[in-house]
Chains A and B, each alone.
Chain A
Amino acid sequence: MTMHGIQMAPPKVTVITSSNGGLSTDQIVSLALDKIMYVSDNAPPEIREQAIAFRSNMTNVLLEYVNLARREERATISAVLENNGHSDVAKMIRSI
């Protein structure tokens, strides 16, 4: 007799933490890449190699643009602070 079963088991989650501040650009890029693509351990070697090479290229692109986003956000915050008479704080933000 064939049994029909329902299988449920939660997979492992990833936990990333930081100290004395928010996540680094590398950590954010790693989080994004894990959502964008998953390289199976069981993939054929040639496909796996291509996927890993693609991931490497994606890493460089994301690093550049996440860093750009962080710089631009700081620039916007600095401008708001500067325009409201907080030049000293604006300078601190820019220097991060």
Chain B
Amino acid sequence: MAPTQAMCTSFKKELLLGVHRFGTNSADTFKLALYTSSTSIGAGTTAFTSSNEVSNSGTYSSGGGNLTGVAPSTSSTTALTDFANVEFTSATITARGALIYNSTPSANDESGSSLTNPAVCVLDFSSDKTSTSGTFTVQFPTADASNAIIRIA
């Protein structure tokens, strides 16, 4: 098994429901959790799961790390947003992918039920990445219309 890189389908619907607020002004808290190659998270993932999450080590603990967002912007006809790099230090980690999720969603689902840790997107690192008593850094791509981590084109 392995993660399948994708924007989660539930996230697309939740955008229409106003569940996710990105940026720096009254923004929701977005987090990044790391997973082993045994995970099968992908487009169908709807929320954070601790199944096949990497073990606690160094500054990494279950649920992952907070992401620092930047204000959403536009470039030509594309809307985009970005996050600062996230790193876990003094950590022994082997991860194959990650899940970005929202730990403080702004709205309930269409039936009024609250959402818990709704998923945003799944990242596949293509191969296992390992830190040994060291630093594990995830760097997001250039925040432009072609490369930003979250774009609506």
B151 CB–A CB distance under 8 Å = yes
Instruction: From the candidates B132, B135, B141, B152, name the one contacting A22 in the complex (CB within 8 A).
Output: B135
B6 CB–A CB distance under 8 Å = yes
A17 CB–B CB distance under 8 Å = yes
Chain A interface SS verdict (over half)? loop
Q: Which residues of A contact B151 (CB under 8 A)?
A: 7-8
Question: What range describes how many residues of B lie at the interface?
Answer: 35 or more
Q: Are B135 and A18 in contact (CB under 8 A)?
A: yes
What's the least CB distance linking B96 to chain A, in Å? 10
A8-B153, A17-B134 known; A31 vs B139 contact (CB < 8 Å) = yes
A49 CB–B CB distance under 8 Å = no
B138 CB–A CB distance under 8 Å = yes
Chain B's closest residue to A38 (CB) is B142
A8-B7, A38-B144 known; A15 vs B136 contact (CB < 8 Å) = yes
